Amino acid sequence: MLSVFEFAAESRVEVGTGKSRRFRRAGRVPAVLYGGGKSPLLLSLNHNEVIKRLEHESVYSHVLDVVVDGVAEKAVLKAVQRNPSKFQVLHMDFLRVNAGELLRAKVPLHFINESTCIGVKKGGVANHVLTEIEVECFPGELPDFVEVDLVDLDINETCHLSNLKLPAGVRVVALSQGEDHDLSVVSILPSKSGDAG
């Protein structure tokens, strides 16, 4: 049995909208594996297996094994195209990764200690501005998520990107673009009733 972080795929040669539609009707998901200095590979994956794996949040921010015709390649999931009206994955993009090369990936934020936060205990409300951040690191250092500890935040205080505690070797991409990009992650706002503070 494959792990959550393994995607079994078959190579495909057919391209075009009509061929992709036929794949989908047959319970397959068309995909592409690209990058890493190699030619792009057109793939086909089992739709039900894909859905099971995508239920796990960490799949989106993890180095995966894409097993193509029995050969595993390391990759990250770069894009998932879904049908907005049906529970269906239409297309997937995988980006090959090399252990010695930096990669950029989006990582979810996990907010902790919200109920025990100073500002929330005074009646404030946590306003989550970001739910994920783009990070840069080597593949072996890619975190499944980044924790945001709200415990010390008071009313009218904000946690910015520069306040996040990141694992060693991981940096926030936006912060490399200057101080203007030190975005708000979460703020504690006074409650609408006005009785906080």
For 13-46, write each residue's pLDDT tens digit.
Answer: 766 666 667 777 788 999 999 998 889 999 999 9
Residues 173 and 127 in one domain: yes
Contact 134, 104 (CB under 8 A): yes
pLDDT of 96: 94
- Write down which residue in 50, 78, 96 finishes a domain: 96
Residue 163 lies in a domain: yes
Residue 141 lies in a domain: yes
| More confident site: 161 or 84 | 161
pLDDT of 4: 80
Q: Which of 83, 70, 82 is nearest to 6 (CA)?
A: 70
Domain span holding position 170 = 103-189
Residues 184 and 113 in one domain: yes
| Total tally of structural domains belonging to the chain | 2
pLDDT of 74: 94
Instruction: Flag whether pLDDT at 158 surpasses 80.
Output: yes
- Write down which residue in 43, 68, 96 finishes a domain: 96
The least confident of 9-23, 43-57, 79-93, 159-173 is 9-23
| More confident site: 84 or 139 | 139
What percentage of the chain carries pLDDT values higher than 70? Answer: 93
CA distance 43 to 33: 7
Residue 194 lies in a domain: no
pLDDT of 135: 95
Contact 184, 158 (CB under 8 A): yes
DSSP assignment of the chain equals: ---TTEEEEEE----SHHHHHHHHHTTEEEEEEEETTEEEEEEEEEHHHHHHHHTSGGGGGS-EEEEETTEEEEEEEEEEEEETTTTEEEEEEEEE--TTS-EEEEEEEEEE-STT-HHHHTT-EEEE--SEEEEEE-GGG--S-EEEE-TT--TT-EEEGGG--PPTT-EEGGGGG-GGG--EEEEEEPPTTS---
Burial of 66 (0-12, 13-18, 19+ CB in 10 A): buried
pLDDT of 70: 86
**Residue range 150-178: average pLDDT?**
94
- Write down which residue in 96, 124, 157 finishes a domain: 96
Q: What are phi and psi of 179, to 5 degrees?
A: -60, -30
pLDDT of 197: 44
Residue 30 lies in a domain: yes
Taking the model in full, what pTM does it have? 0.80
**Residue range 161-168: average pLDDT?**
95
Grade residue 88 by pLDDT with cuts at 50, 70 and 90.
Answer: confident
Pairing of strands 28-35, 38-46: antiparallel
**Residue range 64-82: average pLDDT?**
92
CA distance 133 to 113: 20
CA distance 26 to 12: 14
Q: Given the structure tokens 């904000």, which residue do they identify?
A: 158
